[in-house]
């Protein structure tokens, strides 16, 4: 009974202390596509992710109800760094839902014109607002509605302590008339959150107001019931590093039958515990406001055990060809191409043997071959030629009319019948990362669909006679980029090639920049006038080192630009449903396509090639 009454009281007081309007709440998931498009369209960094920001500590003065309810003052604010733009997980500060939606749009516009650094938070935000309103006068009415509603939602100035009245008045004036306030008074507490402005990144929490010192000495530790707002999938946690606890301290009580076995007692640094369920782990992370990482202090100096859990043994791995090739990699922070940074290892699939085309694909292959046969020898007339098989009546009539008007030099009056010689080369580069081991349904995985696609692609190009090559790639950090050779330009497409394709298996990670550079080098050596680089992938560039995130995106972008400068046409085919967030930056708006139903890839790949080479 006591627990039930306590629960009711906690819900009541928490609801009373919450100043937000839950009925008008707008979540980030509802607007992330719109704000992302606006951010990039108005000049924001095209490669920045637009994601939700988790709550962070914000030590403003609490009301009496907030103190009673145990409000921990975790506020979700708008900020950005070089990797991403972070907007609040949800907004419910206005009574009208449309205003909360407009606030998301306004923050995206501000972020698109902000460099990311603050010298003085309040002054810089005022200057930013002025700059945006001058560039986009149409936003003035929207901003004024937001400003008036926001000021009305602030606490009455007369109700504040004398020391904070001047600060609140300064903020109200700065919101209503940006640029009107130059100096801000000193206070002991941070002002109430100003949701119409951007904040410094989460790594600079102490710079929200450089000259303000929060002097609250004690933090309340009462539990607070979590709100019913669903956490966005992209939200991040605040991290903190600390030393590992001394394992020799403390008391341990155990029963004799719980003694460790040898394998349990061995001190191995395991990155994860496979016994935990993934869903339980994600729930645990969602419940944490701060994730603390401890660095192991003690190191065994003898009998150290190092186990590589990624690479297979040499006897089980694919067959390496040579010692590997050193390739450069783009460092976007230094804006330079670092020479010999990656080691690319050409390989052949292990255990590959000559195989026929699978029976399940033979009927579809004949259909595709019939469609491609018409490209083999398309014949057409060349008009206005100096000599040819027939007289060009149209050219002769034009010449006759013009010669009656004024002297006209003689020109080509014949038609010549010619064949269409397709002078092009194509290299198909397939992503063979570990994600291709994922199941699409009960019968097939992504890697199975990739295999079928490459087989049908080979059948189609063999029928038309175009020059083509096929490779796969994956990686484990920069010193092991695997480049699997399935067919080079000098090989005929036969059962041996079909056997190699059917022998490929999921690899590791996706260091796409190095693979594209090697593919560019291979296709650039061809003498054809038209060169096409087709890339099949199921996700964005990544690896387990620094290549994760923006580094991989920028390196891939640079590699694609290098290919374009050599006259090569890159085109990406992906099954990643989130590809719109990064592929337009990598390949351009018309340089990629998304296959929403991956099982259609085997049929769509030859069709896409047909379209790309007949335009």
- Higher-confidence position of 452 and 120: 452
> How do residues 383-440 score in pLDDT, each as one tens digit?
777 777 788 888 878 877 888 788 777 777 777 755 556 788 999 999 999 999 999 9
pLDDT score for 160: 76
DSSP 244: P
pLDDT score for 251: 52
H or E stretch at 152? helix 140-153
Single pTM value for the model: 0.68
Mean pLDDT, all residues of the chain: 79
Burial of 260-270, coded b for 16+ CB within 10 Å and e otherwise, reads eeeeeeeeeee
Contacts of 32 (CB under 8 A, 6+ apart): 50, 51, 52
Please determine, for residue 256, whether its predicted confidence score (pLDDT) is greater than 50: no
pLDDT score for 276: 46
Q: Residues 231, 29: contact at Cβ < 8 Å?
A: no
Please determine, for residue 266, whether its predicted confidence score (pLDDT) is greater than 50: no
Please determine, for residue 349, whether its predicted confidence score (pLDDT) is greater than 70: yes
Q: Identify which of 39, 103, 38 has the alpha carbon closest to the alpha carbon of residue 76.
A: 103
Q: Give the span between the Cα atoms of 455 and 111, in whole angstroms.
A: 47
Q: Give the span between the Cα atoms of 36 and 578, in whole angstroms.
A: 13
Q: Give the span between the Cα atoms of 179 and 167, in whole angstroms.
A: 15
% pLDDT > 70, the chain: 72
- For residue 14, name the pLDDT band (cuts at 50, 70, 90): low
pLDDT score for 177: 92
Q: Is 93 left (phi over 0), alpha (psi -120 to 50) or beta?
A: alpha
% pLDDT > 90, the chain: 42
Q: Identify which of 350, 341, 349 has the alpha carbon closest to the alpha carbon of residue 480.
A: 341
- In this prediction, residues 516-527 reach a mean pLDDT of 96
- Higher-confidence position of 347 and 285: 347
Q: Residues 594, 536: contact at Cβ < 8 Å?
A: no
> How do residues 216-236 score in pLDDT, each as one tens digit?
333 333 344 444 444 444 455
- For residue 210, name the pLDDT band (cuts at 50, 70, 90): very low
Domain boundaries, the chain: 2-207, 319-373+422-613, 379-419
Please determine, for residue 495, whether its predicted confidence score (pLDDT) is greater than 60: yes
Please determine, for residue 326, whether its predicted confidence score (pLDDT) is greater than 90: yes
- For residue 611, name the pLDDT band (cuts at 50, 70, 90): confident
- In this prediction, residues 332-359 reach a mean pLDDT of 94
pLDDT score for 235: 53
| CA dihedral angle for residue 593, residue 585, residue 48, residue 195, rounded to 10 degrees | -80
Q: Give the span between the Cα atoms of 38 and 539, in whole angstroms.
A: 24
Please determine, for residue 237, whether its predicted confidence score (pLDDT) is greater than 70: no
Please determine, for residue 119, whether its predicted confidence score (pLDDT) is greater than 70: yes
Please determine, for residue 449, whether its predicted confidence score (pLDDT) is greater than 50: yes
Range of weakest confidence among 105-114, 170-179, 219-228? 219-228
> How do residues 307-320 score in pLDDT, each as one tens digit?
444 567 776 788 99
pLDDT score for 388: 77
Please determine, for residue 514, whether its predicted confidence score (pLDDT) is greater than 60: yes
Please determine, for residue 263, whether its predicted confidence score (pLDDT) is greater than 50: no
Cα→Cα distances 125→113, 178, 213, 388, Å: 11, 8, 20, 73
Q: According to the per-residue pLDDT averaged within each range, which of 111-120, 248-257, 376-385, 519-528 is highest? A: 519-528
pLDDT score for 15: 55
Q: Identify which of 56, 207, 186, 196 has the alpha carbon closest to the alpha carbon of residue 121.
A: 207
- Which tokens hold the place of 235? 């939200």
- In this prediction, residues 12-30 reach a mean pLDDT of 72
> How do residues 564-596 score in pLDDT, each as one tens digit?
999 999 999 999 988 888 899 999 989 999 999
What's the number of CA atoms in the CB half-sphere (13 Å) around residue 86? 27
Range of weakest confidence among 271-275, 295-299, 576-580? 271-275
**Phi, psi of 171, rounded to the nearest 5 degrees:** -65, -40
Q: Residues 53, 86: contact at Cβ < 8 Å?
A: yes
pLDDT score for 141: 92
Long-range contacts of 598-602 (CB under 8 A, 24+ apart): 598/440, 598/446, 598/449, 598/538, 599/440, 599/441, 599/444, 599/449, 601/449, 601/450, 601/452, 601/453, 601/536, 601/573, 601/575, 602/361, 602/364, 602/449, 602/452, 602/453, 602/455, 602/456
pLDDT score for 318: 87
H or E stretch at 216? none
Please determine, for residue 187, whether its predicted confidence score (pLDDT) is greater than 80: no
Q: What's the topology of domain 319-373+422-613?
A: Rossmann fold (3.40.50)
DSSP state letters, 383-444: EEESS-SEE-HHHHHHHHHHHHHS-------EEEEEE----EEEEEEEE--GGGGSBSSSS-
Q: Are strands 84-88 and 49-53 parallel, antiparallel or unpaired?
A: parallel
Q: Residues 105, 193: contact at Cβ < 8 Å?
A: no
pLDDT score for 425: 94
pLDDT score for 73: 57
Cα→Cα distances 403→384, 392, 408, 595, Å: 16, 16, 5, 57
């Amino acid at each position: 009974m006591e627990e039930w009454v306590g629960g009711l009281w906690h819900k009541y007081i928490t609801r009373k202390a919450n100043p937000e309007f839950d009925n008008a709440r707008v979540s980030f998931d509802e607007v992330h596509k719109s704000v992302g498009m606006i951010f990039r369209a108005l000049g924001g960094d095209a490669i920045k992710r637009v994601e939700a920001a988790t709550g962070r500590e914000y030590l403003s003065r609490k009301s009496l109800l907030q103190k009673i309810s145990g409000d921990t003052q975790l506020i979700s604010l708008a900020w950005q760094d070089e990797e991403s733009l972070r907007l609040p997980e949800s907004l419910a500060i206005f009574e009208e839902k449309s205003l909360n939606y407009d606030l998301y749009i306004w923050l995206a516009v501000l972020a698109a014109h902000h460099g990311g650094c603050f010298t003085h938070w309040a002054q810089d935000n005022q200057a930013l607002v002025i700059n945006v309103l001058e560039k986009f006068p149409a936003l003035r009415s929207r901003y004024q509605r937001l400003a008036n509603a926001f000021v009305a939602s602030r606490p009455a100035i007369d109700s504040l302590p004398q020391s904070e009245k001047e600060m609140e008045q300064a903020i109200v004036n700065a919101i209503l008339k940006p640029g009107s306030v130059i100096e801000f008074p000193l206070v002991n507490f941070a002002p109430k959150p100003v949701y119409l402005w951007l904040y410094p990144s989460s790594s600079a929490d102490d710079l929200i107001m450089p000259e303000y010192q929060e002097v609250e000495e004690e933090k309340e530790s009462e539990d607070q019931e979590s709100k019913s707002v669903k956490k966005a999938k992209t939200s991040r946690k605040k991290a903190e590093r600390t030393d590992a606890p001394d394992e020799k301290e403390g008391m341990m009580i155990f029963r004799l039958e719980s003694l460790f076995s040898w394998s349990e007692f061995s001190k191995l640094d395991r990155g994860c515990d496979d016994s935990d369920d993934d869903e339980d782990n994600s729930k645990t992370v969602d419940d944490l406001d701060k994730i603390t990482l401890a660095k192991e202090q003690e190191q065994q100096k003898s009998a150290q055990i190092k186990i590589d859990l990624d690479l297979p043994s040499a006897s089980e791995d694919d067959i390496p060809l040579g010692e590997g090739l050193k390739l450069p990699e783009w460092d976007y922070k230094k804006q330079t191409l670092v020479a010999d940074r990656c080691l690319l290892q050409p390989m052949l699939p292990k255990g590959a043997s000559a195989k026929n085309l699978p029976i399940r694909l033979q009927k579809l292959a004949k259909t595709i071959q019939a469609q491609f046969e018409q490209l083999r020898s398309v014949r057409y007339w060349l008009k206005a030629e100096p000599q040819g098989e027939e007289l060009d009546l149209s050219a002769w009539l034009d010449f006759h009319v013009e010669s009656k008007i004024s002297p006209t030099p003689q020109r080509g009056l014949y038609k010549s019948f010619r064949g269409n010689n397709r002078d092009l080369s194509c290299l198909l580069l397939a992503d063979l990362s570990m994600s291709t081991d994922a199941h699409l349904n009960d019968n097939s995985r992504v890697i199975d669909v990739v295999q079928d696609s490459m087989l049908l692609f080979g059948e189609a190009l063999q029928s038309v006679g175009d020059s083509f090559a096929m490779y796969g790639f994956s990686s484990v950090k920069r010193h092991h980029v695997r480049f699997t050779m399935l067919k080079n330009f000098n090989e005929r497409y036969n059962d041996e090639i079909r056997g190699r394709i059917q022998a490929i298996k999921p690899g590791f990670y996706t260091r796409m920049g190095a693979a594209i550079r090697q593919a560019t080098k291979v296709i650039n050596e061809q003498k054809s006038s038209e060169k096409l680089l087709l890339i099949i992938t199921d996700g964005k560039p990544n690896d387990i080192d620094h290549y994760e995130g923006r580094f991989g995106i920028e390196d891939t972008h640079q590699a694609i630009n290098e290919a374009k400068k050599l006259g090569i046409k890159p085109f990406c085919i992906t099954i990643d449903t989130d590809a719109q967030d990064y592929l337009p930056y990598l390949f351009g708006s018309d340089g990629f396509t998304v296959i929403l139903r991956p099982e259609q890839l085997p049929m769509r790949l030859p069709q896409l090639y047909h379209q790309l080479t007949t335009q």
